[in-house]
Amino acid sequence: MTIDLAIILAPFFMAACIAIFYRKIKRNWVGWIVLFIPIILFLTLTTYIPRVANGHTFSNTYEWIPSLNINFTTYLDGLSLMFSLLITGVGSLVILYSIFYLSQKEALHHFYCYLLLFMGAMLGVVLSDHLMVLYVFWELTSVSSFLLIAFWHHRKASRAGARKSMTITVSGGVSMLVGFLMLYVMSGTFSIREIIANISMISGQSLFIPALFLVLLGAFTKSAQFPFHIWLPDAMEAPTPVSAYLHSATMVKAGIYLVARFTPIFGGEMIWFWTVTGVGLITLFWGSFNAIRQVDLKAILAFSTVSQLGLIMSLLGLGSVAVHLGYSDKTVLYTQASFAALFHLMNHSTFKGALFMMVGIVDHELGTRDIRRLGGLMSFMPFTFTIALIGSFSMAGLPPFNGFLSKEMFFAAVLKITELDIFSLQSVGVIIPIVAWVASIFTFVYCLIIVGKTFFGKLKPDLLEKQPHEAPVGMLIPPFILISLVVLIFFFPNILGKYILQPAMGSIYPTFPSVKELTPSIYAWHGFNPELYMTMGVVVVGVILYHLLPRWKRIYLLIPQRFTLNAMYESTISFSENFSRLVTRRYMNGDLTHYFIYIYVFFVAVVAGYFLFTEGITFNPAIDAKIEGFELILVFIMVVAAISILFAKSRITTVILNGVLGYSVAFFFVIFRAPDLALTQLVVESVTTALFLICFKFLPDLKPEPSTRGVKISNGVISILVGATVTIVGLAVMNYEKFDTISSYFEDSYNLAGGKNIVNTILGDFRAFDTMLEVVVLFIAGLGVYTLIKLKAKKEGTDIENK
């Protein structure tokens, strides 16, 4: 097994071990044991940094389903390495934080299993080169995040948030799958690298633009872009370590990764440029605007995450213009937007991860996150205040923190893009820097709210559930590591640029000859330039708006609640549930007769309709075998028995007549020289008749329910149609030539499977896969029964108000 495959499989293996052996592990040891996995993976990945920085890539292919051209292909380049380092590095800190955050009374083995599943799925997403494998891991991230968000499943809000996130992200994932299939149809390959290499062959095809939109739909839903961002605030019901990991550093960055990875394929299109840039800017503005109105610290961070993701997405859209222009000295200037996107992505993971942990500390130690109940905590929680100050000011784009550097590059990119005379940028493009600047002002305001409303002002002890005090050292170490990186990156940014960002840029622009030219030197001071003036304006206007917040915050009341995206989503879900319930009640009424009617009508409509409209019936009695007299006698007996059942007055008569039908069928098998079928039919019929007779005394008297004339006529018509349909199928089979027969394939059963009996070979070898699935179904059913037997019901009255 190669290292890249081991990196993906290691979290899954550890999750399986925890699930199997958790009873033998002390509860307070589980987190420490799990912590070794991301640390080892992170250290392993760091050994690749020098080689990847020198332009090396690593790829391995493992056969999975070769008949469908589906192989497990891993690919480690600059972009996948950067994301892998984030996944394992931040994952290590989150697990360390969770050891001290979560109570020993929690289901810790569940939590860490879910977290490891998510970590492995994210590694699979960023290290997969095969579209179908990428999709499998993509959806696994949605499933594992659903489990993590709903970890406190006794809370109604947690269950609702998990359902919303899964509904939106999985829907986008299915759309993305369709886009992947379109790419395969156009290119003939599932390999992302091969598609990039042959982009000139597929860019003009009719499916290219639909595939573009479908892939973006998957990216936008996963990265909480407008209008799909509504799942992210509700997902904050998850434990804080989950929020710090999924919603700041990893899961929401999956969509960013997808856009960056597919920029070489779609980046040359004007539609890609305006869609990615436009949606990113709208998300940036709307997220920052709505963050100000929140009163829950976690909700503020949720909308700030939405906003920051929009910023990164818009930068990737701006950077895609370089793909359209092609390589030149002038074009290299516009690649800096993509560089800023990658730089801010790294910066965001550091300061936002620290901020989420800070909020978790406040909630853990004070019992509330409501800023209306907080204030004056600076003197009681100085270390937590330091984390909040550095993280918030970095997010606001102030020096000496890393967020200032990437925010300046963001301003430079939105100003520079207006100089182009393509895509109507010289006219419409002027909106881009305006939206960016206004959104940055709102970002500055909510950063001041986080720090000011929580740590300054007067303490409100009567509104707090606990006495204010500092968090344990174990909870402070992970966020302090992150804010240390915030400061270190500011003073030594080019180390990150050379060894991490530069190789990642080579993945976004693989056709550009020089990667080093794409990586600008990062400086904190560029003199007095428009970007610096924009930052000064953000600070001045932001401070004014913060102090005047009570006066202008009423603007949020102008938006009616029923017109919000959340309200529209809830209305849609409610309508769908009510409509489904209404339709279900119409046909699921508990009447077995109705169920048979639906089945038979569908059977007649599909089967008989097919044969009638395709002219598949060819009946030629001249080529049929001669009908013997005893065969007619058997048919007559079966007809009489079948009709007599309808008029039987007692159950014993019905059982006997049903037996006559079964045994008559067995005699037909004997006549047609099928002794194995005849024996099977005789055994089944004998057992069935015996069971009927054994249960006879427990059955009620046979009293047919009174039926109207119309019901009897409709039942008779359906019965005749079903019989006629079966007859049509029997007649059509004799001379059906619409499709090639498969019998010639099975005639070679001895060479194919080593069996001389065709029937036995079909059942034992050719249907082996079907048999395996049947065994799996039985296993799942048995597992369900076992689970129900072992399941311990909760005590009555537990969390009734939340159910």
**What burial letters (b/e) apply to 375-409, b meaning 16+ CB within 10 Å?**
bebbebbebbbbbbbbbbbbbbbbeebbbbbbbbb
- For 346, 642, 715, 718, 732, the CA distances from 725, given in Å and listed in that order, are 66, 17, 15, 10, 10
CA–CA separation, 208 and 202 (whole Å)? 7
Domain shared by 163 and 233, yes or no: yes
Inside any domain, residue 564: no
Query: What confidence score (pLDDT) does residue 61 get?
Result: 87
Query: What confidence score (pLDDT) does residue 798 get?
Result: 44
CA–CA separation, 22 and 17 (whole Å)? 8
Amino acid letter, 681:
Q
How much is the average pLDDT of 244-261? 89
How much is the average pLDDT of 90-98? 94
Inside any domain, residue 259: no
Domain shared by 238 and 277, yes or no: no
Domain shared by 330 and 225, yes or no: no
Is residue 747 predicted with pLDDT exceeding 80? no
Amino acid letter, 427:
S
Domain shared by 309 and 229, yes or no: no
Is residue 795 predicted with pLDDT exceeding 60? no
Domain shared by 389 and 278, yes or no: yes
Inside any domain, residue 619: no
Q: With pLDDT > 70 as the criterion, what percentage of the chain qualifies? A: 95
Q: Do residues 266 and 276 make contact, with C-beta atoms less than 8 angstroms apart? A: no
Query: What confidence score (pLDDT) does residue 540 get?
Result: 96
Comparing CA positions, the residue from 326, 263, 294, 232 lying closest to residue 449 is 294
**How many separate helices (H) and strands (E) can be counted in the chain?**
36, 2
Is residue 4 predicted with pLDDT exceeding 70? yes
Q: Do residues 339 and 408 make contact, with C-beta atoms less than 8 angstroms apart? A: no
Query: What is the Cα 209 distance to its own chain's centre?
Result: 23
Among residues 187, 221, 253, the one where a domain terminates is 253
Query: What confidence score (pLDDT) does residue 801 get?
Result: 40
Domain shared by 493 and 379, yes or no: yes
Inside any domain, residue 70: yes
Q: Which residues contact 253 (CB under 8 A, 6 or more apart)?
A: 83, 86, 223, 309, 345, 349
Comparing CA positions, the residue from 350, 381, 359 lying closest to residue 300 is 359
**What burial letters (b/e) apply to 325-347, b meaning 16+ CB within 10 Å?**
bebeeebbbbbbbbbbbbbbbbb
Is residue 100 predicted with pLDDT exceeding 80? yes
Query: What confidence score (pLDDT) does residue 621 get?
Result: 67
Query: What confidence score (pLDDT) does residue 620 get?
Result: 67
Q: Do residues 136 and 21 make contact, with C-beta atoms less than 8 angstroms apart? A: no
Is residue 803 predicted with pLDDT exceeding 60? no
Query: What confidence score (pLDDT) does residue 627 get?
Result: 76
Query: What is the Cα 121 distance to its own chain's centre?
Result: 10
Question: Encoding tokens for residue 78?
Answer: 């600059």
Query: What confidence score (pLDDT) does residue 703 get?
Result: 65
How much is the average pLDDT of 91-101? 94
Query: What confidence score (pLDDT) does residue 623 get?
Result: 66
Give the pLDDT band (50/70/90) at residue 737: low
Among residues 518, 547, 576, the one where a domain terminates is 547
**Owning domain of residue 755:** 746-803
Cis peptide before 510, with omega less than 30 degrees from 0?
Answer: no
Question: Encoding tokens for residue 694?
Answer: 């054994």
Question: Encoding tokens for residue 798?
Answer: 């537990």
Query: What is the Cα 61 distance to its own chain's centre?
Result: 24
Domain shared by 233 and 353, yes or no: no
Domain shared by 202 and 248, yes or no: yes
How much is the average pLDDT of 661-678? 87
The phi and psi torsions of 64 (rounded to 5 degrees) equal: -125, -70
How many CB atoms lie under 10 A from the CB of residue 416? Answer: 17
How much is the average pLDDT of 750-755? 76
User: How many domains does the chain fold into?
Assistant: 3
Domain shared by 168 and 27, yes or no: yes
Cis peptide before 400, with omega less than 30 degrees from 0?
Answer: yes
Instruction: Indicate the DSSP class of residue 755.
Output: -
Question: Encoding tokens for residue 156?
Answer: 């109604």
CA–CA separation, 338 and 501 (whole Å)? 10
Q: Do residues 49 and 59 make contact, with C-beta atoms less than 8 angstroms apart? A: no
Instruction: Indicate the DSSP class of residue 239.
Output: -
Domain shared by 322 and 195, yes or no: no
Half-sphere CA count of 386, side-chain side, radius 13 A: 14
Inside any domain, residue 611: no
Domain shared by 233 and 281, yes or no: no
Among residues 547, 576, 591, the one where a domain terminates is 547
pTM recorded for the entire structure: 0.83
Q: Do residues 344 and 405 make contact, with C-beta atoms less than 8 angstroms apart? A: no
Amino acid letter, 597:
I
Query: What confidence score (pLDDT) does residue 799 get?
Result: 44
Which three-class secondary structure state does DSSP give residue 564?
Answer: coil
Inside any domain, residue 627: no
More confident residue, 184 or 103: 184
The phi and psi torsions of 401 (rounded to 5 degrees) equal: -125, 155
Q: With pLDDT > 90 as the criterion, what percentage of the chain qualifies? A: 50
pLDDT digits (tens, 9 = 90+) for 493-541: 999 999 999 999 999 998 888 777 778 888 888 888 899 999 999 999 9
Q: Which of 204-218, 238-252, 704-718 shows the highest mean pLDDT?
A: 204-218
Comparing CA positions, the residue from 223, 224, 195 lying closest to residue 211 is 195
Give the pLDDT band (50/70/90) at residue 591: confident
Is residue 164 predicted with pLDDT exceeding 70? yes
Domain shared by 295 and 223, yes or no: no
Query: What confidence score (pLDDT) does residue 792 get?
Result: 58
Give the pLDDT band (50/70/90) at residue 669: confident
Cis peptide before 503, with omega less than 30 degrees from 0?
Answer: no
Is residue 298 predicted with pLDDT exceeding 80? yes
Helix/strand/coil (H, E, C) string of 302-357?
Answer: HHHHHHHHHHHHHHHHHHCHHHHHCCCCCHHHHHHHHHHHHHHHHHHHHHHHHHHH
Give the pLDDT band (50/70/90) at residue 561: confident
Query: What confidence score (pLDDT) does residue 702 get?
Result: 64
pLDDT digits (tens, 9 = 90+) for 361-399: 999 889 889 999 998 899 899 999 999 999 999 999 999
Q: Tokens 């480690």 sit at which residue? A: 76
Give the pLDDT band (50/70/90) at residue 492: very high
Query: What confidence score (pLDDT) does residue 689 get?
Result: 85
Q: Tokens 């804010």 sit at which residue? A: 483
Query: What is the Cα 583 distance to its own chain's centre?
Result: 29
Is residue 736 predicted with pLDDT exceeding 70? no
Inside any domain, residue 643: no
pLDDT digits (tens, 9 = 90+) for 700-719: 666 666 667 788 788 888 88
pLDDT digits (tens, 9 = 90+) for 422-473: 877 777 888 999 999 999 999 999 999 999 999 998 888 888 888 888 988 9
- Minimum mean pLDDT among 18-22, 569-573, 710-714: which range? 710-714
Inside any domain, residue 689: no
Query: What confidence score (pLDDT) does residue 63 get?
Result: 83
Q: Do residues 332 and 457 make contact, with C-beta atoms less than 8 angstroms apart? A: no
Please, what is the average pLDDT of the chain? 87
